[in-house]
A and B are shown apart, each in its own frame.
Chain A
Amino acid sequence: MAELPNTTMANECKVKLKSKDDKIFEVEYAVAMQSQTLKNALAHTGCTDTALPLHDISSQILAKVIEYCEYHVNAANTISEKDVKTWDEELVKHMDQDTLFRLIVAAKYLEIHNLVDLMCKTIADRIKDKSVEELREIFHVQNDFTPEEEEQVRRETKWAHGE
């Protein structure tokens, strides 16, 4: 792997990202470094003017990812852990499922582990204590069990519901 650019270059380097729908986003080098994927790519190419194409990420999602990374890059040393937590909670508070999942896929692809964790924790919280029907509604999943299969599953899982 090529050497990482030296510090001065790193400070001046602006990384260009191209979303699925061809929108270009420009971010600071330090912000891009939050993503392990981009870190590896930039180690190969050095600072380049070419936009890195992110085939699967829409501009809407990429904007959110960048928002997260930009806040966390600054938060690292200056903002208290408690305030960071509050900001994170605000970010996900009213996020719809679709965005949450798209963000997970994007964050996983870009290897931004904190963001993957945050998104997954949010989804886990939304799954907590919901009934099967509610879960189907929340995640727009169709019931593909036959009635017999459904009965069998219910019997198998009775134990976890305190029955």
Chain B
Amino acid sequence: MDESPKKELAERRNTSSHLHRKEETPSWHLGAPVDIFFRSSPCRIVVVNAQELDHPIIYVNLIFEQVTGYRADEVLGRNCRFLQYQGSFAKTRYPLVDIRILTEICRCLSEGFDFEGERLNFRKGGSPLMNRLYIKPICNDEGIITHFLGVQSFKEANFDLSPLRGLVWKKSSGAIHTHILGDMYSQKSLFVHRDCSFKKCCPLYKVSDEVLVVNILARLTPRDVTSLGSVCHRFYNLTKDESLWKLVCQNIWGQETFSILESVARRRRLWWGKIVRELTTLEAAAWRKLTVGGSVEPSCINFSVCAVGSKVVLFGGEGVNMQPVNDTFVLDLNEDCPEWTHINVNSAPPGRWGHTLSGLSDSRLVVFGGCGRNGLLNDAFVLDLDEPQPTWHEVSCSTRPLPRSWHSSCILDGTKLIVSGGCTDSGALLSDTFLLDLTMEKPVWKEINVSWRPPSRLGHTLSVLGNHKILMYGGLATSGPLRLRSSDVYIMDLSEEETRWKYVTGSMLPGGVSTCNSAPPPRLDHAAVSLPGGRVVVFGGSIAGSRLETKVYILDPMEEKPTWRILYVQGRQPKYASGHSTCLVGGTRVVVLGGHHTEDWMLTELHELCLINLKGTD
């Protein structure tokens, strides 16, 4: 810049007229009120031209002149770095000026980020000042950065609190920054003057985005996050942050669910905002058909399956001539062409059907009970799929629950096996509940003593809610001299001192139907799946009149008055689904095996209920 425009600018400011002559007005125009506004604020303002070489200063306000001692006409056209030189004759920057800050500033400027931090500056006379600096890029209508705006507050530098803290930088979002200076005076601005005392300034603006997202928003439910996002632009943009939704998921659904979802999200490149939304609303739930290779041979029925990571594991069953078998098969759904593989295991448990197979943490699974060659069983075996040569190990315990089949089981905390009910050798039904803690060196079966038990039953389901609650539903239950299908729901909280079964909903009498219209008809051998947030989804099984029905029902036990609702799922539902041949893979896909006809039991055609849209971003 040559001499005359500089002098003219300085003069114009002193006579409190417009900031620029009309011809020099940049694409964002500052009106007269803005200049007054700047002059009345206690901040130093510097504007540099981002498109010219070495970013020359094109505007400084009065406060800048007063504090630094440099007049506007002395600094216009120069780069700001002279502020780091001690005294007007110095040629190099003062050694104590932190180079890291400068590197950071350079990086932010070249990448278009905001910068906020502190650095050491000097007055014209040579005395030091600590400069709290905030630099923001200004974009034109096309989103190209044309200028940088620096707001600074200077403090006496008596003592240097090192290391210089809080290098906070945020990604610039084009939509916010156009017209930013025009809006400032109208107080609708999102621009932050950290050291100005705006009386009407929202105190929330003093808090950095990072603290807001990580410490405050991450603790909220999706409902509250979206409410806050509806308040103003700044918060709206914060709620678009993927990492926020990741934290929200972790917070509301716990670490276990989060870890399971994380591997799916990473593999399929799903957006966390979408995951949270779809798992909350289940709006994307759809039935899909899946063809897989290999086969389970010899084919059998009444086997049990469970999910281990992305794999479906199948064990046991009733084979030819109704003889129990003890083969182990695995189907890895993460493969491009999944196919059933027979696993050669060491020391397989005795063959059985009507047993339970449940997935533990760390690629392990446990089988319990069932009907073997010589009667009912009450042994438990554990298999670790990650071992180079997988081996079934029997869990040796001195006292065991009564041998049984068609009982139900679930895993608490990834480590504790809970079994309940079932049918004994004599044909009597059971109503007990046992827990086996597999983390112990010598696991011991513990009966959970309760003052009152629901009617004894078989073919019911146990689902885990969160860390310490289990939900029992349905089954064929004792009702006086009869056995009738049940629609009752009971919950037990295992963290309570006096554990007890609480009745939630149903008919209170096996065989009865509850008054709610969309309640599922009573059933046994159905599939029950636990969703994040403590909701339960049930479908399939055997209902009265030998009908098969695969409408999907959902229940939220956390509601005040838990009520069953029908979940409308797109796609063609399978005609058949049974609890022991259904499992939840990767927290998002409910895989249903088998069918009614013999060929279905080759298990090459599967059905799956995808809870979320698994087609990720391209």
Contact = CB atoms under 8 A, between A and B. Distances in A.
Contact of B206 (A53, A105, A156, A161): A105
Contact of B203 (A117, A140, A154, A160): A140
Contact of B283 (A52, A102, A108, A159): A159
Interface string B142-179: 00000000000001001101110110000000000000
A160 B203 CA distance: 27
B42 to A, nearest CB: 13
A104 B230 CA distance: 23
B230 A153 contact: yes
B130 A55 contact: yes
Contacts of A154: 230
A87 interface: no
Given A109-B166, A161-B223, A161-B226, A145 B159 contact: no
Contact of B219 (A116, A120, A131): A120
A144 B229 contact: no
Interface centre among A41, A120, A143, A150 (most CB of B within 10 A): A120
Contacts of A76: none
Interface string B177-220: 00000000001101000110000111110111001000111011
B492 to A, nearest CB: 27
A155 B224 CA distance: 15
Contact of A53 (B159, B163, B226, B228): B159
A135 interface: yes
B220 A139 contact: no
Interface in A122-163: 123-124, 127-132, 135-136, 139-145, 150, 153-154, 156-157, 159-162
Interface string B415-440: 00000000000000000000000000
Nearest to A150: B230
A124 B232 CA distance: 17
Contacts of B221: 128, 160
B204 to A, nearest CB: 5
A139 B165 contact: no
Contacts, number: 126
A30 to B, nearest CB: 20
A52 B163 contact: no
Interface string B275-290: 0010011010000000
A153 to B, nearest CB: 5
A52 B158 CA distance: 9
B231 A143 contact: yes
Interface string A32-46: 000001001100100
B161 A37 contact: yes
**Contact-residue bracket for chain A:** 35 or more
A45 to B, nearest CB: 8
B159 A52 contact: yes
Contacts of A144: 188, 190, 232-233
Given A52-B159, A123-B216, A143-B231, A104 B207 contact: yes
Contacts of B217: 124
B553 interface: no
Nearest to A123: B216
B220 A127 contact: yes
Contact of B231 (A44, A53, A108, A132): A132
A65 B334 CA distance: 52
B222 interface: yes
A139 B163 CA distance: 33
B207 A140 contact: no
B570 interface: no
A82 B92 CA distance: 58
A50 B226 contact: no
Interface in A95-115: 97-98, 100-102, 104-105, 108-109
Contact of A101 (B207, B277, B283): B207
B300 interface: no
Nearest to A44: B162
A140 B232 contact: no
A55 B155 contact: yes
Nearest to B156: A53
A97 B204 CA distance: 8
Contacts of A157: 226-227, 229-230
B567 to A, nearest CB: 15
A64 interface: no
B503 interface: no
B157 to A, nearest CB: 9
Contacts of A128: 220-221, 224
Nearest to A122: B216
B227 A53 contact: no
B200 A140 contact: yes
A129 to B, nearest CB: 7
A131 to B, nearest CB: 7
A35 to B, nearest CB: 11
B94 interface: no
A121 interface: yes
A136 B227 CA distance: 10
B169 to A, nearest CB: 15
Given A124-B220, A127-B227, A157-B226, 17 more contacts: A50-B159, A100-B203, A108-B208, A120-B215, A120-B216, A120-B219, A127-B216, A128-B221, A132-B230, A132-B231, A135-B227, A135-B231, A139-B202, A140-B201, A153-B230, A156-B226, A157-B227
15 contacts: A55-B132, A104-B211, A105-B206, A108-B166, A116-B211, A120-B215, A127-B216, A131-B227, A132-B227, A140-B202, A144-B188, A144-B233, A157-B227, A159-B283, A161-B226
Interface of B: 130, 132, 155, 158-159, 161-163, 165-166, 187-188, 190, 194-195, 200-204, 206-208, 211, 215-217, 219-233, 235-236, 277, 280-281, 283
A-B residue pairs, 10 tightest by C-beta: A157-B226, A101-B203, A120-B215, A124-B219, A160-B226, A160-B222, A132-B230, A160-B223, A98-B203, A140-B202
Interface of A: 37, 40-41, 44, 50, 52-53, 55-56, 97-98, 100-102, 104-105, 108-109, 116-117, 120-121, 123-124, 127-132, 135-136, 139-145, 150, 153-154, 156-157, 159-162
